[in-house]
Amino acid sequence: MKLDLAAWRGDARWSWAGIALIAIALAALPFVVGRGFGNSWVRVLDFALLYIMLSLGLNIVVGFAGLLDLGYIAFYAVGAYLYALLASPQFGIHLPFWVILPLGAAVAALFGILLGAPTLRLRGDYLAIVTLGFGEIVRIFLNNLNAPVNITNGPQGIAQIDPVRIGAVVLSKSQSWFGVEVPSVYLYYYLFVALALLVIFITVRLEDSRIGRAWVAIREDEIAAKACGINTRNIKLLAFAMGATFGGIAGGLFSGFQQFVSPESFALMESIIVLCMVVLGGMGHIPGVILGGVLLAVLPEVLREGASVWQRGLFGRILIDPESLRMLLFGLALIAVMLYRPAGLWPEARRRREFAAAAGERKGTRG
């Protein structure tokens, strides 16, 4: 990553050309996908972008600081419910999007610190179990906070959430730009792309900084990090808070996009899927994590679609429910990747180099 950036900086014209190309591709993507495959696939893209934000947030905690967190989805839930409560008929409060989103990020960060503080001494398996418990606590609270005072509306969830509104544009209604019809899912796509880019920018900057180095140092050897004068307590809490912030932002966006939230959306499985995105893509490597997020968000949908098409083609009818077949194929894909690319699909360049060097050494001794 660092090397790539240095090369980019070397020639400003190339980097501007690259940025322009990426911008055009990102702007055109929903039209290409929508025209080619239908607008439901643009919706899949929207979710992929939310998952990118989530996996980059979790990557700070798991990939950089090396703290295994199995309850990450709780921060997503906090952001989502905060948006739902402050912009719905539930309490009759209708705050604007640009007020709730930062507030959601801040409250999620606070939850991150609340989770982090009691777990500071834990590592590995023990931390995983405690965070798993935390994630479940949040979900169960959301499920049961409808009595004695109804706050979350319990298992029914909160409906009729206000759509995101930017200026005069309501994102739940299609717009007409220069005579071109832009459906709602496209509008959300552009909003999510903008925020995902912001999240990517922040993580890239953090990685290559004093804070980022301290996170990695803790991951590599906590005792040595302490001996180097790193206040591991604060730096770990910062990792939890930063990770949770991105979760909170994604949650708020999810709420405005779906206009409905219920505790079901924040089950343990979701935490595990986000963790899979991080691990499968390449823990600690930002482009890898983004790739993991996109793949694991899009692939199951492709498999779902494919599972019915293939079965019809082969047997003339659907023998196995595509939903269950999808999870089977998904599981097989995970196993295959972990067997053949244990460092992830797109690991850090230096780790790749390391593998290459190790292979070279082996060859050398044989020759």
Partner 1 sequence: MSVLLEARGVSKSFGGVQALREISLTIRRGEIYGLIGPNGAGKTTFFNTLTGLYSSDRGTFTFDGAPLSVKAPHEVALAGIARTFQNIRLFANMTSLENVMVGRHLRTRAGVLGAVLRNRSTRAEEAAIERRARELLDYVGVGSRANDLARHLSYGDQRRLEIARALATEPKLLALDEPAAGMNATETAALRGLIDSLRRDGVTILLIEHDVRLVMGLCDRVAVLDYGEKIAEDVPEKVQKDPKVIEAYLGGSLA
Please state, in angstroms and rounded to a whole number, the distance separating the CA atoms of residues 163 and 174.
12
83/215 with CB nearer partner 1:
215
- How near is the Cβ of 277 to partner 1 at its closest, in Å? 21
Check residue 22 for interaction with partner 1 (CB under 8 A).
no
Write down the least CB distance from residue 195 to partner 1, Å. Answer: 15
Q: Give min distance, CB of 225 to partner 1, in A.
A: 7
Query: Least Å distance between CB 227 and partner 1?
Result: 6
Our CA angle for 52, 199, 260, nearest 5°, is: 60
Q: How many residues does the chain have?
A: 367
Distances (CA, A) of 12 to 16, 17, 80: 6, 9, 40
Q: CA separation (Å) from 162 to 4, 97, 259?
A: 42, 9, 6
Residue 220 as a binder of partner 1 (CB under 8 A): the answer is yes
Q: Compute and round to an integer the Cα radius of gyration of the chain.
A: 22
Stretch binding partner 1 (CB under 8 A), from 154-162, 177-185, 223-231, 266-274: 223-231
At closest approach, how far in Å is the CB of 1 from partner 1? 13
Whole-Å CA distances, 190 to 10, 96, 182? 30, 18, 11
Please identify, using beta-carbon distances, which residue of 1 and 170 lies nearer to partner 1. Answer: 1
Q: For CA atoms 109, 115, 121, 123, give the dihedral sign.
A: negative
Please list every residue from 225 through 254 that binds partner 1, using CB under 8 A: 225-233, 238, 242
Q: How far is CA 225 from CA 186, 213, 229, 348, in A?
A: 46, 10, 7, 22
The pattern of x and - marking residues 291 through 330 that bind partner 1 according to CB under 8 A reads ----------------------------------------
Mode of pairing for the β-strands spanning 87-88 and 93-94 = antiparallel
Distance CA 131, CA 247 (A): 15
Least distance in Å: CB of 242 to partner 1?
Answer: 7
Enter the tokens of residue 266.
């924040």
Task: Rank residues 28 and 356 by Cβ distance to partner 1 and give the closer one.
Answer: 356
Between CA 186 and CA 40 the distance in angstroms is 11
Minimum CB separation of residue 65 from partner 1 in Å reads 13
By CB under 8 A, the residues from 337 to 356 that bind partner 1 are: 350-351, 354
**Interacting residues with partner 1 between 182 and 211 (CB under 8 A):** 201-202, 205-206, 209-211
Q: Figure out which of the listed residues 78, 187, 217, 276 binds partner 1, where binding follows CB under 8 A.
A: 217
Binding residues for partner 1 (CB under 8 A): 201-202, 205-206, 209-214, 216-217, 220-221, 223-233, 238, 242, 350-351, 354, 357
